[in-house]
Structures are given as C-alpha cells and as structure tokens.
Amino acid sequence: MPIRYLTADAVRQAERATGDLLTGGALMRRASSGVAQVVIGELRATGGCYGRRVGGVIGAGDNGGDALYALAVLAHRGVACTAVLLNPDRAHPGGLAAFCRAGGRIAETLPSGLDLVIDGVVGIGGRGPLRSAAADQFARLERAESGGPAIVAVDLPSGVDADTGEVHDPAVQATITVTFGAPRNAHLLAAPQCGRVEVIDIGIDRFGPSDGPAPRLSVLADDDVAGLWPVPGPDDDKYSQGVVGVIAGSARYPGAAILATGAAVSATSGMTRYVGTAADEVVSHYPEVVAARTLDDAGRVQAWVVGPGMGTDDDALAVLRTVLETDLPVLVDADGLTLVAAHPELVADRRAPTLLTPHAGEYARLAGDDVGADRLQAAAGLAAKWQVTVLLKGRITLVADPSGDVLGNDAGSSWAATAGAGDVLSGIAGALMASGLTPSLAGAAAARVHGHAADLAARSAPIGASALLGAVRPAVRAIREASAIG
C-alpha cells in the first residue's frame, strides 16, 4: 500500500497519542536505541565497533537527547564517543547524564579521524539554516565520499525544513537519516540531502492522522505500481485494454511525436493512435501505430496526450481546444501547456479527468509565479485552483489532485534530465490513463517506471531520451517481477 509521509504537526499528534510512552520517556529510549543500532550496523560494515571513533554535534531539546542517549549506547559497546554541546546549559539532562556515565567525552570541537558523526542539532521543529556554531563543526569535516566520516542525522538533517523539504544554506548533508514511526515529508522532498532513510518502529501510529490538512503526501511502492499496471486478461482485446491518442510533433520536428508515441506503445498492450503531420515518421518507427493527419480521421480513443512538439500557433490552439472540449481524459504537456497558460479557461472548468505535466518553467507560466521552495504546496495549490491534476516534474516528481492528496516519486537520480524525456513520460502516463487509471495514479506510476527506465538505460553513463524509451519495457518487467504480481 502507498507509504504515507507526515508533517511535523502530524508526528507530534501521533506522539502525544501514545500518552505514557511519550511522557515516561519510552519513545526517546526506543528512538535513541534505533539510532545506535543503525550506527552499529554502519561500523560493523567497515570493521566492527570496538575502538572506533564517533562524534556528535548536539543541540538543545529532544533531538539532542536522542543523540546523547545513542552515543551512550555506543560508548558501552567500546566506541570512543565525543560530543560537542552547542548549548551546554540546555542539553537534555537525562541524555547528558547517560552519556557521561558511559564514559563519553565532551569537547569544544569535533576531533579529527572520526569514523562517523551523529547530527543531533535540531529535529522536526528546526527552522532555517544551521547556526554558525553548528555549521562550523560540520564544515571541518570532509565529505564521506572523499574519505570523511559518514553523517547520521537524527530525524532530519539539520537545516532541512520538515514539511517543505527546503534545504537551507548551510544544512547538513546526511549519509543516513534515522527517523521514527513514519517518514516525514522532507524525507521525500529533500531525498538527496537525507541520504538513506531508516524508519525505526517506536510504537507510534505509523500512518498518522488520516484527516489532516492538505496537502497530504504519499508514495506508491513498487508493489503498488505492479498491481496497477494494466496487463491483458483472458477476455481482453486491443480496444478493452485502452486506446490512447497522441497529438505531438510535426513534420519538421518529428522527435517528440516518435518519443511520446513510442512510450505509449511500450507502456501497455492496448492500441495507440497518432494524429499529426509526423505520421509517416511515427509509423516508420512503430508500424503498429494507427496514424492519421487530422482529428477528423483519428478514430475512437479513450484518452488523449496532447502537446509535445505540436507548436503554439492558431492551428495548434484549435486542436487543443477541440480535444479539451471532449469528455475524455486528457494529458497536456509541453507546447500544450504554453497554450493553456495563455488560455486557462480551456482547463479551469473542465469536468473530465485532466493531467497537466509541467516542469518548473512551465509551472511558472501556468501559475504566474515561480515554484519556490515549497514544491508540495505549489503543485497542490495549482491543482486545487484549477481543479485538475498537476504532475510537477523533477527528480522528485509530485502528482497533486484537486482534493489535496499528492503522490510523490523519487527517481533516485537525475539521469532523466535530458531533452525529450518528458515526451516519454507523457506517453507512458497517457497510455495508463487510457487503460482506466486516474490521472493521479497514472502520473505517479508512470513517474516510477520512467525513473527506473532512466536508471536502467544509464548505468552510470549519460543517456538520451531514445535510450530511456528503449528501457521502458525492461523497467515495467523489472518492477512486476520484483513484486508479488510478477
């Protein structure tokens, strides 16, 4: 089932609901034990625990308390532990006492030669960048990939906003982030800053309140995507599996047409129709596509993809208007979004399912303002304003529906940041909409496969969109085979 991500307020509410577990300190003991076990696992992976050297940068409050208790556990295991107290008078008293009893050392600065550093500066209540005293401690460290110590953040890397994922400057770059009960919004929205995220069960409701304020963030797991993906049943034919129509490209610029149509063909087993002046080029690449030059000759479809490379002249506007006046699901991308930005009435009152797929620049034209630091609110706000589904592209793709529910996906890399990759994503998502998936599910599932395809195609080397397209089928296969659906 989809993985829920929680806001800071939802986490606090879930913690308060545990009653004595919170007030009696059980949650903190479980959290600190979880941090210690993750650190122990990292040390064991590189030679064991005894005699290793671990430091901690410790702030005031419970986050610092978690880190101090974790350091105490490590000290009892023979690890040489050093803590820098940023606010000595406000350090967590219980955690500090446990750390000192275990033989931990307090210092003004982190010593050299550390194997690992625990970031216990601030947690989900932190706001803004690291203060200078904390920033100075982390600035002295070499990055882990350059031979410096791994950094394990408690709950969140300090300097990262828990709800928006905004990464302030300076902020901690974590190797691993250890969190508790359920992931926080920032663990997705600022995934590159968080490193590997480990979620420790400490006895709180991992799903949090279900009726919290919008936007509400979730992520589809691979099993979810595998279960959603359309596969032909015993009674299916090419029509019942979904017929998608693609309006893209031109005779002069056929690439967008080939990429979007090829992605639709690769994504599902139904039928793909193409409409446009690049018909000959499309059919030469994909002879199974049924091509026409005008909408009048297109034939019946169950969803449309419109926009990539189609141009923005009056003829293109007339085609877009005609498609959006139907009661069919429509995905609008690229040039189609430029036209919608100039004519928002085309989609603002549309009742049929509508998916807009902007990158940051296209979003700015649609919304009249930049995306800004809060991408989650940006996507959800536009979706609510226009009552459409908005897929905001990026390494972290966000798919917001008008209700305030947002499905996110971390591609895990930026290999898909290449010209034409958006055309491939549109073709995949449009084919899924034609099969009957909602725009939100189609967009999120397409983003998952799109990111995996980019990874498969790249294998640590740059790729173009053609290589990404060629990896769509292997990506679908890999996700299905790795799940219970395969």
Residue 238 scores a pLDDT above 80? yes
Rg (CA), the chain: 25
Mean pLDDT (whole number) for 6-11 = 92
Those residues whose C-beta lies under 8 Å from the C-beta of residue 459, and which sit 6 or more positions away, are none
Average pLDDT of the residues in 218-227: 96
Output the known binding site for K(+).
63, 119, 158
Q: Which of 266, 324, 271 is nearest to 295 (CA)?
A: 324
- Cα→Cα distances 183→3, 27, 39, 230, 419, Å: 8, 16, 19, 29, 33
Using alpha carbons only, give the angle 452, 194, 58 rounded to the nearest 5 degrees. Answer: 170
Binding-site annotation: residue ranges for AMP: 393-397, 422
pLDDT tens for residues 350-408?
A: 999 999 999 999 999 999 999 999 999 999 999 999 999 999 999 999 999 999 999 99
Q: Which residues contact 382 (CB under 8 A, 6 or more apart)?
A: 356, 363, 366, 367, 388, 390, 400
How far are the Cα atoms of 24, 148, 151, 458 from residue 144, in angstroms, in the given order? 37, 4, 8, 24
**b/e code 457-481 from CB counts within 10 Å (16+ = b):** bbeeeebebebbbbbbeebbebbbe
Is the CB of residue 471 less than 8 Å from the CB of residue 456? yes
Could you list the residues known to form a binding site, using ranges.
Answer: 62-66, 119, 123-129, 155, 158, 256, 309, 359, 393-397, 422-423
Burial class (CB in 10 A: 0-12, 13-18, 19+), 486: exposed
Q: What does the pLDDT read at residue 206?
A: 57
pLDDT digits (tens, 9 = 90+) for 74-125: 999 999 999 999 999 999 999 999 999 999 999 999 999 999 999 999 999 8
| Domains contained in the chain, CATH given | 3-212 (3.40.50.10260), 222-481 (3.40.1190.20)
Residue ranges at the known binding site for (6S)-NADPHX: 62-66, 123-129, 155, 256, 309, 359, 423
Which residue type occupies 312?
T
Question: What does the angle CA 153 – CA 154 – CA 156 come to, to the nearest 5 degrees?
Answer: 70
Give the percent of the chain with pLDDT over 90.
85
